[in-house]
Structure 1
Amino acid sequence: MRTILLVSCFLGLLLALPTESEQKLDAQMTDALFGLSLTALKESNGPVVVSPFSVAMALATVNEGAKEKTSQEITDVAFHGISKEKVASWFKSKLEYLKTDYSPLSVASAIYIQKTLNVLEGYITDVKENFLSSVDKVDFAGEPQIQRQKINSFVNETTQGHIPELLGAEHVSSDTRMIAVNALYMKSSFKDKFPKGSTAKKPFHNEDKSSKELDTMSGTHSGRFFENDDFAYGDMPFTDYGYNFFIVFHA
């Protein structure tokens, strides 16, 4: 399997210029999110698509209600030691921008909790305020599959039908107590479009030396590109200002 890391990255989400401390936090969070994506690739034996923003946001909503050792472990492993207060503040600022008409990216977040559990009002308030997340009490114990379908419908609607079934039957059971879901949907176009007439069948080479003919876009574009003996990297801007498409793959 050839591992390819695709990252739809938004840069400079705030309309105002960030302060020095905000720039530092942006860099720290970007590093933490990139680390999460690499971990997901490392643990997969096949093709995988992962949104580090979604994974990190789901973990952050869980960490909002965690305490002591559990909270510290999430903070250290997922966010490289960045305090959960700073993480919550960072997500809040990004989500406030993503709600505006300027953004081509829509985000939806929801937490589903077994209805027999007692949830602190402060937690519900915090996740709604910092992560724009809804908190729903459901009956995992009595109707796990009905709740699974409810969650899948939420994700399917948010992603405009691109993820019809996030959770399989094996992922939810009567023992499930909490599921944190975050879904992203983005629709945009490359600033420099690939000519349709240049698309042609070309071989795609796998790591096992096999190859397959696939429709391949081609064109000449300006932008950032880097290549060495280990990997190649490039990025292409979208028409929406501040959004770029990055690709990193083995050389």
Structure 2
Amino acid sequence: MDLQTLGSSNAAFGVDLYQKLSSENPGENLFFSPISLLFALAITLLGAKEKTEAQIKSVLNLEHIPNGQLHQGFADLMNHFQTPNGKWELNIANKLYGEQTAKFLSEFVEDSKKFYGAGLEPVDFVGSSDKVTSLINEWVERQTKNKIKHLIPRNVLNALTRLVVVNAIYYKGAWKNQFRKGNTKVGSFMTASKTLSDVPFMYLNRLSTGYFYSDDLNSQVLELPYEGNSQSFVVILPDLQKTSLEVVEQRLSKEVFTTIEESLFRETVNVWLPKFKIEKESNVKESLKRMGITDLFSMKAADLSGMNGEKDLYVSHLLHKAFISVDEEGSEAAAATAVVITLKSAPIFRQPVDFKADHPFVFYIKDNKSGSILFLGKVSKL
């Protein structure tokens, strides 16, 4: 299976979840990692059966891919992301923490390791759940270079916890065309509530880069590649004279990302981009339930018998945190997900286009080869 097939599914899932999270938190900043959630849920999918399996595959837009190809496809995607490159850093890690007295099917354990590199570490949830909480959180901190802390709060894990599936992702990339710090000036950013705030704007003069105006979205779209051209930072900036961020969000779809990919052309652009940091904890469990994954979180209906041969497990918590920092040098982003399983063209000279991101916008970081959306979010206020 080619990487673009999974990339397309990842983009569709990311947009669907974005719209759910955004509608639940209007006017707030949003940031999460579709790919982190996808890996954690794909590992969980190894143990899901019957209706539980069908619901997960449907919401993740994977129902058209046979299981035999699906998990090998994720393994290939992992290998693609982990390919060493001195120009950027991208690390994805998966791990299983299992109750030491519990019995897990060898096929589930072996496939988790084979396809996802997720080794099983026996731990004592029954007698030392607080200690295990610290152990998992410390692993996440190491994998994300201390950007994601306290992923699992106290009292989430207990004597009934049988398995925790954890994914961590870390990315750091330098702009291909870096902003000069001396050009950064304070300017006004109009928030979603129409108030003005003073924020530092980075500036690039006459940058030749990927750009187009989307008539469907009534928005400017700007691509800022990272060094090495393997990943890009893309901004969708609504034209406030014609539309709003809310309307643009409603029109987002997998096809929009494809159109952006196909429509970008090299243009000379004056770029103003705010420096910003976002740290966000998202209630993805409730959003996924509204999207159609219901049995997985139900003590009555969940079927995770592919993990231990019994129907006595369900997902009690799905935790997700994400972080991003954007400055003159580039971007640093990280995210972590924990699934807690419990016992039941050529340049043409033109006048430069002005691209001034001084009002709310959507942004994402994409992998250019697979089309996978690594991180997705919006800036509503600064």
TM normalised by structure 2 equals: 0.55
Q: Relative to structure 1, is the Cα distance of residues 54 and 24 closer, same or farther in structure 2, using a 3 angstrom cutoff?
A: closer
For 2:212 and 2:179, locate their aligned partners in 1 and report how far apart those are by CA, in whole Å.
17
Query: Which residue in the other structure is 1:35 paired with?
Result: 16
- Tell me how far 1:43 sits from its aligned partner: 4.0
For 1:37 and 1:134, locate their aligned partners in 2 and report how far apart those are by CA, in whole Å.
30
Secondary structure of the corresponding residue to residue 30 of structure 2:
coil
Partner residue of 1:184 out of 169, 175, 186: 169
- Residue 243 (str. 1) matches residue 224 (str. 2): no
One-letter code of the match for 2:43? T
Query: Which residue in the other structure is 2:50 paired with?
Result: 68
Does the 8 Å CA contact 1:111/1:180 hold for their aligned counterparts? yes
1:20-31 map, 5 Å = 23-31=4-12
- Residue 224 (str. 1) matches residue 207 (str. 2): no
For 2:133 and 2:189, locate their aligned partners in 1 and report how far apart those are by CA, in whole Å.
37
Residue ranges of structure 2 left out of the alignment (5+ in a row): 238-244, 246-360, 362-382
Query: Which residue in the other structure is 2:72 paired with?
Result: 89
- Tell me how far 1:54 sits from its aligned partner: 0.4
- Residue 54 (str. 1) matches residue 42 (str. 2): no
Aligned residue pairs, count: 232
Does the 8 Å CA contact 1:37/1:51 hold for their aligned counterparts? no
Q: Which of 1 and 2 has higher RCO (CA within 8 Å, sep 6+)?
A: 2
- Tell me how far 1:22 sits from its aligned partner: 5.3
Query: Which residue in the other structure is 1:16 paired with?
Result: none
Structure with the higher strand share, 1 or 2 = 2
Residue ranges of structure 1 left out of the alignment (5+ in a row): 1-18
One-letter code of the match for 2:16? G
Does the 8 Å CA contact 1:145/1:169 hold for their aligned counterparts? yes
One-letter code of the match for 2:13? A
Q: Relative to structure 1, is the Cα distance of residues 34 and 127 closer, same or farther in structure 2, using a 3 angstrom cutoff?
A: farther
Deviates more, 1:145-154 or 1:72-81: 72-81
Structure with max Cα Rg: 2
Does the 8 Å CA contact 2:211/2:220 hold for their aligned counterparts? no
Query: Which residue in the other structure is 1:208 paired with?
Result: 193
Q: Relative to structure 1, is the Cα distance of residues 147 and 247 closer, same or farther in structure 2, using a 3 angstrom cutoff?
A: farther
Secondary structure of the corresponding residue to residue 49 of structure 1:
strand
- Tell me how far 1:226 sits from its aligned partner: 3.2
Deviates more, 1:189-198 or 1:202-211: 202-211
Structure with the higher helix share, 1 or 2 = 1
Q: Relative to structure 1, is the Cα distance of residues 88 and 34 closer, same or farther in structure 2, using a 3 angstrom cutoff?
A: farther
Query: Which residue in the other structure is 1:134 paired with?
Result: 119
Secondary structure of the corresponding residue to residue 142 of structure 1:
helix
Deviates more, 1:123-132 or 1:175-184: 175-184
Secondary structure of the corresponding residue to residue 127 of structure 2:
coil
Say what the alpha-carbon RMSD is for the aligned residues.
Answer: 2.4
Deviates more, 1:231-240 or 1:39-48: 39-48
The Cα offsets for residues 171-227 of structure 1, whole Å up to 9 and x where unpaired, read as 433443332211111122010111211111112222222222111212243213434
Secondary structure of the corresponding residue to residue 185 of structure 1:
strand
Does the 8 Å CA contact 2:130/2:155 hold for their aligned counterparts? no
Partner residue of 2:82 out of 79, 95, 99: 99
Secondary structure of the corresponding residue to residue 79 of structure 1:
coil
- Tell me how far 1:50 sits from its aligned partner: 0.7
Of all paired residues, the percent bearing the same amino acid is 24
One-letter code of the match for 1:92? A
Does the 8 Å CA contact 1:226/1:233 hold for their aligned counterparts? yes
Query: Which residue in the other structure is 1:234 paired with?
Result: 222
- Tell me how far 1:80 sits from its aligned partner: 4.5
- Tell me how far 1:24 sits from its aligned partner: 4.2
- Residue 113 (str. 1) matches residue 98 (str. 2): yes
One-letter code of the match for 2:192? E
- Tell me how far 1:101 sits from its aligned partner: 1.7
